[in-house]
Structure 1
Amino acid sequence: MQILQAPNADAARSALGAGVACPDPLDASGELELTILMPCLNEANTVGRCVQMARAFLAASDITGEVLVVDNGSSDGSAERATAAGARVVRAEIRGYGAALTEGIRQAQGRYVVMGDADDSYDFASLAPFVAQLRQGAQLVMGNRFRGGIAPGAMPLTHRYLGNPVLSFLGRVFFRISIGDFHCGLRGFDRRAIQQLALTTTGMEFASEMVAKAALARLRIAEVPASLRPDGRGRPPHLRTWRDGWRHLLFMLLYSPRWLFLIPGALLLLSGAAGFGLAATGPWHLGPVSFGIHSLLYMAAAVILGLQFIQLAFLTKWAGVVTGIVPSPPWLERVARRARVEFGLVLGLGLALAGLVWSARLVSAWGAGGFGALDPTEVMRQAIPAVTLMVVGVQAIAGSLFAGALHFAFRSLARRPGHE
């Protein structure tokens, strides 16, 4: 297949106006270069124009491709209008934005896929930058609406100045990628590379899952400007601002245990350990505030919770690795080779026994005094650290056993006949 430089959007619009047909959809190898994919749910007012614009782009660009519309249960004749406009229409039985796109990616015939909404908010005549980046080796090409231009009324103010900027900022921090618009619906990708990510979400958070997993899998990610205009559907959008925004945030947190568990846990542990050391050696005074055994109790709680959060961070990462959801980072492989389940059991048992012995000595000292009245301040200054050691030790034992159970469970599942 001859690869030509894609023309600008004006050429595609001219082709649309002239009614130019697409070239033969198959190249010499029998593979399409590009699938333009549109999820569709009751978009009868706009889907036909979107399909025509996409087909005109393919014709003007001399790209062997197809326009694929995934109907997600429309009841307004959207599928028929898409077919009449020249699209190949398939149906996704499971409802949801992510479910429709997953079915579309599965049925796409192009080496590359550019996906966009069928509500006429994106300009399908301006896909040349996406195709150019894909041809140059990018595996995911994100559109950036803030760089390409947002027409008045195209995006609610809460999305433009709060939701998208905040979630995009968190995405850049969590996944260490320089993407300015984390949730742009116009994006292109290498179909085989994205299929290997095993995307699973069925709702709007599919957009976040794709970017997060692509970053974790270290795919080559690029970004190009994309314009956004008011949609022409004439009805409320499917997106629900607060519900879908929360689901996007929750998904990013679950796929970034560093920020969900590790960093909060480390802060709790360090502050608790520092306060623990000060309060354990005697009451400290800061102006009118005194740090004694009551402060020691709260510092002990911070240490316990901090270690528990850190443990959850490792377990969450380990679960993602053994299930194949995320790639195994080099540091985790080194830790896994050296820190076996037995190591955690021995460490936890040692800490728990140390706390138990310490507690036994306190009981013995109490017995030597005839089990009489105790000085709460002096006793609790030793009892709290002893109990903390026992709790932390049991946590380490339980966490090690759980990590081992995860490993054996998923290894057994992978060995079942017919399991891929």
Structure 2
Amino acid sequence: MTELTILMPCLNEAETLETCIVKAMDYLKRSDVDGEVLIADNGSTDGSQDIAKRLGARVVDVPVKGYGAALGAGIAAAKGKFVIMGDSDDSYDFSNLDPFVEELRKGADLVMGNRFRGGIEKDAMPPLHRYLGNPVLSAVGRVFYRTPVGDFHCGLRGFSREAILGLHLNTPGMEFASEMVIRATLFGLDIREVPTTLKPDGRSRPPHLRSWRDGWLHLKLLLTFAPYWLFYYPGLIMFWTGLISFCALMMGPVVIGGVTFDVGTMILSSALLLTGFQMVCFYALSRIFAVRFNLLPTSDRFERLRKKITVDNACIAGGILLFIAFIATLSGIFSWGATGFGDMDASSIVRAASMAVVSASLGLQFITTGFLSSMLQQQIRPDPS
């Protein structure tokens, strides 16, 4: 079996492709590695395919547009046990791949290059990317996923082909780079990092990367695979803030530092409480969905939570809250009746009304979340045909 595939995505890279292939071929020959150079061509019209074939590289045509689509097809077509991927714009040094190969041979599943440790030449990375985009997105990734990767978007990286195929990566655009790191971390792959260098690319045309668009795609992906940070933690903060303040204000106005908080604040508290609870429900449902379809791994803690989210438990909790809402409604009606059902001061009934609205809303959310959770966990029978 071939040990190494050096994979380069390509879309009209005739200016620099030859240089990259020659460096990669020289590396394979010099290091005595049994390998191949594979070009995943994304529809070039400048003769890039002919250049690659002339130099002895293998070309796979990828009709689906996008950086991720090209790399996904290239990884699937690779013959090597290991794959090292890098851009074909001559910004990465394909003649110095020894650090990647050494770590892969030692058992690493994913070896990331780190340009901040290895060196970034002048004008090799726009200031917006170097000082804001890449550091911020990489920091978000490390906080959200506790990954050891310091340069999330380095285009030069090596990996076990079998391990990465097992992640079923499917994003077609530039966010493919983040998806690989995120899912490798979530599924417990052995990730290591080595210094690498970056120099200005050799093309005369602008790069395919679009800073704000692609940055937003990366951030969306970071949030999509982190339901804790997207739903759970913000939801908990809102829920408990709303619940504590709502319960305090149910007893009457609260004075803090000479400032009086009354029914207006209680209405805001009820909104925080309900929104926070809904976000926590979104977390549970999204996690159930993601685990079922192998988008996220499960855990013992989550499995215990999942087993508690049953239709029976949800209906019991929801029924209790709906009963409280009914009692609060009756209380408000009696208070109104005591005035002969005429005009009355809003402050005298708003607390009972707020309790009725909040309890009824929470009760219905409990019940609907339980049923939707049950629906998401239903077994799918195989098609008999």
SS at match of 1:90: strand
How far is the alpha carbon of 1:225 from its aligned partner?
A: 0.5
Residue 373 of structure 1 is aligned with which of 343, 349, 357? 343
Could you list the per-position Cα deviations for residues 207-247 of structure 1 after superposition, in whole angstroms to 9, with x for gaps in the alignment? Answer: 11111111111111101101000001111000000000001
How far is the alpha carbon of 1:361 from its aligned partner?
A: 3.2
Bigger drift between 201-210 and 262-271 goes to 262-271
What amino acid maps onto 2:198 in structure 1?
A: L
Matched, 1:151 2:101: no
What amino acid maps onto 1:361 in structure 2?
A: S
Residue 145 of structure 2 is aligned with which of 164, 169, 175? 175
What amino acid maps onto 2:127 in structure 1?
A: L
Q: Is the 8 A contact 1:36 1:68 kept in 2?
A: yes
- Aligned residues, how many? 385
SS at match of 1:110: coil
SS at match of 2:236: helix
Matched, 1:88 2:58: yes
Residue 267 of structure 1: aligned partner: 237
How far is the alpha carbon of 1:363 from its aligned partner?
A: 1.7
How far is the alpha carbon of 1:304 from its aligned partner?
A: 0.3
What amino acid maps onto 2:383 in structure 1?
A: R
Once residues 84 and 215 of structure 2 are traced to their aligned partners in structure 1, the CA distance between those partners, rounded to angstroms, is: 24
How far is the alpha carbon of 1:332 from its aligned partner?
A: 1.4
Once residues 171 and 407 of structure 1 are traced to their aligned partners in structure 2, the CA distance between those partners, rounded to angstroms, is: 29
Q: Is the 8 A contact 1:216 1:327 kept in 2?
A: yes
Identity of aligned residues (%): 48
Could you list the per-position Cα deviations for residues 267-310 of structure 1 after superposition, in whole angstroms to 9, with x for gaps in the alignment? Answer: 11121122112222211223453200111010000000010111
Once residues 338 and 284 of structure 1 are traced to their aligned partners in structure 2, the CA distance between those partners, rounded to angstroms, is: 36
Residue 332 of structure 1: aligned partner: 302
Matched, 1:416 2:377: no
What amino acid maps onto 2:305 in structure 1?
A: V
What amino acid maps onto 1:416 in structure 2?
A: D
Q: Is the 8 A contact 1:52 1:86 kept in 2?
A: no
Matched, 1:107 2:77: yes
Matched, 1:359 2:359: no
What amino acid maps onto 2:302 in structure 1?
A: L
Q: Which runs of 5+ in 2 are unaligned?
A: none
SS at match of 2:39: strand
Once residues 118 and 104 of structure 1 are traced to their aligned partners in structure 2, the CA distance between those partners, rounded to angstroms, is: 13
Once residues 212 and 172 of structure 1 are traced to their aligned partners in structure 2, the CA distance between those partners, rounded to angstroms, is: 9
How far is the alpha carbon of 1:33 from its aligned partner?
A: 0.8
Q: Is the 8 A contact 1:279 1:292 kept in 2?
A: yes
Distance 1:415 1:327, change over 3 A: farther
Residue 234 of structure 1 is aligned with which of 204, 223, 241? 204
How far is the alpha carbon of 1:79 from its aligned partner?
A: 0.8
Residue 207 of structure 1: aligned partner: 177
What amino acid maps onto 2:200 in structure 1?
A: P
Once residues 168 and 356 of structure 1 are traced to their aligned partners in structure 2, the CA distance between those partners, rounded to angstroms, is: 50
Distance 1:232 1:128, change over 3 A: same
What amino acid maps onto 2:153 in structure 1?
A: H
Matched, 1:244 2:214: yes
SS at match of 1:32: coil
Structure-2-length-normalised TM-score: 0.97
Q: Which runs of 5+ in 1 are unaligned?
A: 1-30
Could you list the per-position Cα deviations for residues 343-380 of structure 1 after superposition, in whole angstroms to 9, with x for gaps in the alignment? Answer: 22322222122212321232244335532333321211
SS at match of 2:255: strand
Q: Is the 8 A contact 1:154 1:231 kept in 2?
A: yes
Q: Is the 8 A contact 1:121 1:230 kept in 2?
A: yes
Residue 167 of structure 2: aligned partner: 197
Could you list the per-position Cα deviations for residues 25-51 of structure 1 after superposition, in whole angstroms to 9, with x for gaps in the alignment? Answer: xxxxxx111111000000001111111
Matched, 1:118 2:88: yes
Structure-1-length-normalised TM-score: 0.89
Residue 313 of structure 2: aligned partner: 343
Residue 194 of structure 2: aligned partner: 224
How far is the alpha carbon of 1:336 from its aligned partner?
A: 2.2
How far is the alpha carbon of 1:322 from its aligned partner?
A: 1.0
Matched, 1:132 2:130: no
Matched, 1:254 2:224: yes
How far is the alpha carbon of 1:62 from its aligned partner?
A: 1.3
What amino acid maps onto 1:320 in structure 2?
A: A
What amino acid maps onto 1:302 in structure 2?
A: L
Residue 264 of structure 2 is aligned with which of 280, 283, 294? 294
SS at match of 2:3: strand
Once residues 38 and 316 of structure 2 are traced to their aligned partners in structure 1, the CA distance between those partners, rounded to angstroms, is: 57
SS at match of 1:124: coil
How far is the alpha carbon of 1:142 from its aligned partner?
A: 0.7
Once residues 70 and 145 of structure 1 are traced to their aligned partners in structure 2, the CA distance between those partners, rounded to angstroms, is: 24
How far is the alpha carbon of 1:417 from its aligned partner?
A: 5.3
Residue 387 of structure 1 is aligned with which of 357, 360, 368? 357
Query: What root-mean-square deviation, in Å, do the aligned CA atoms of Structure 1 and Structure 2 show?
Result: 1.4
Once residues 100 and 344 of structure 1 are traced to their aligned partners in structure 2, the CA distance between those partners, rounded to angstroms, is: 46
Once residues 254 and 295 of structure 2 are traced to their aligned partners in structure 1, the CA distance between those partners, rounded to angstroms, is: 49
Once residues 12 and 320 of structure 2 are traced to their aligned partners in structure 1, the CA distance between those partners, rounded to angstroms, is: 63
